[in-house]
Amino acid sequence: MDPYRNDYGEVCVYCHTPHASNGNIAAPIWNRSIPNTTYTLYSSNTMTQTISQPGAASLVCLSCHDGQQAVDAVMNMPGAGRYSASPNNGFLSTWSNPSGLGPFVHAGLKQSECLACHSSDAGVVGSGAADFTVAALGTNLRDEHPVGVTFPSTSGSGTDWNTPNATSAGNKFFDDNGNNRMDKGEVRLYVGANGPTVECGSCHDPHGVVTSGLTFNATFLRKTSAGSVICLTCHVK
């Protein structure tokens, strides 16, 4: 895949950098810029809560998954003197891929780029390629679970919502094991302007959650979707 993205020879650097990280977003040592985007938000005639633009715990995910930036568009590439606050193809093409092929294209998760091969309708050019369609969210979030949505202030008995039973640094969460710590497999709500909000990171852990042995929950979910367990953490149905 070197002709389509930089092989940095490391895993973590596609998201994180120990130096010169993005200080404009509340994310740990973040190595990607955040496009100034107004997303089309989820809407429904059954919604009772306020939905705002995605918060930090969603924007970090969308910095790759909305398809606006290349997958390899990092601010601080490995080595000295390779920094750009706004990565562009010219900057990214200064990288020399260790396997020998230079970078020619810097593809993002959208139809004309990654999905040209990595989709179910890619035809012969996509033969044998994994289908990335589920990972390509775009900027229209109307068909996704709402993010930036304020969790109901009234919850618990007699409502449609379970009540988070713990708080850490202002973030509320469902403390399943009672250790008063936000563990990877526990659903959480993030600090928002109007109260705790649901973001991508509420239900997904980007590093994966092990269920047993070497088995991970699908799509990086914090809990299994089997039997709607992930849904029933918050929702009472």
- Dihedral sign for Cα atoms in the order 150, 151, 154, 159: positive
pLDDT (average), residues 206-217: 90
**Which of 58, 61, 55, 60 shows the shortest CA–CA distance to 191?**
55
Residues in a beta bridge with 171: 168
pLDDT of residue 193: 87
Contact of 10 with 110, CB cutoff 8 Å: no
Residue type (1 letter), 218: A
For 117-136, how does the pLDDT look when each residue is reduced to its tens digit (9 = 90+)?
999 999 888 899 999 999 99
Contact of 132 with 114, CB cutoff 8 Å: yes
Contact of 78 with 72, CB cutoff 8 Å: no
Cβ-based neighbours of 161, under 8 Å, separated by 6 or more:
151, 152, 154, 155, 234, 235, 236
Domain ranges for the chain: 1-46+63-142, 151-232
What pTM value is reported for the model? 0.94
**Position 114 confidence tier, pLDDT thresholds 50, 70, 90:** very high
User: Is the pLDDT assigned to residue 151 strictly greater than 90?
Assistant: yes
pLDDT (average), residues 208-218: 89
Alpha carbon 73 to its chain's center? 15
User: Is the pLDDT assigned to residue 1 strictly greater than 90?
Assistant: no
User: Is the pLDDT assigned to residue 102 strictly greater than 90?
Assistant: no
For 89-101, how does the pLDDT look when each residue is reduced to its tens digit (9 = 90+)?
999 999 998 887 8
For 42-67, how does the pLDDT look when each residue is reduced to its tens digit (9 = 90+)?
999 988 898 999 999 999 999 999 99
Q: Could you tell me where the DSSP H helices lie in 157-228? A: 200-203
pLDDT of residue 141: 97
